[in-house]
Amino acid sequence: MQSNTDNIKTPSFYTVNDVQHMLGIGRNSAYTLVNQSDFPSIYVGNRIVIPADHFQDWVDHQTSKRKGGGVGG
């Protein structure tokens, strides 16, 4: 028997609202983040979207920087 989670697909793209909720940050902080040059966001028309795989890579990179310890590490 398959579990219900087997049928749930990860989206290809996230919205700014999705990122806001996943990171537990405010709306203004989310927009500030997605407009940073090192954050993987793209415009589709007037919408800002974040490729899910690039977002996960960004999170992994941020996490590895923190694990490296030290300032700027």
Read out DSSP for the chain? ---GGGG----SEEEHHHHHHHHT--HHHHHHHHTSTTS--EEETTEEEEEHHHHHHHHHHHHHHHHT-STT-
For residue 1, the model assigns a pLDDT of 52
Domain-located, residue 18: yes
Whether 33 maps to a domain, the answer reads yes
The answer to the question of residue 34 being in a domain is yes
Asked if residue 30 is part of any domain, the answer here is yes
Residues 26-69 have pLDDT tens digits of: 999 999 999 999 999 999 999 999 999 999 999 999 999 877 65
Q: What predicted TM-score, i.e. pTM, was given to this entire model? A: 0.76
Domain count, the chain: 1
Q: How confident is the model at residue 73 (pLDDT cuts 50, 70, 90)?
A: very low
The parent domain of residue 16 ranges over 11-51
Establish if 17 belongs to a structural domain: yes
Evaluate whether residue 64 is within a structural domain.
no
Predicted confidence band of residue 9 (pLDDT cuts 50, 70, 90): confident
Residue 22, domain member (yes or no) = yes
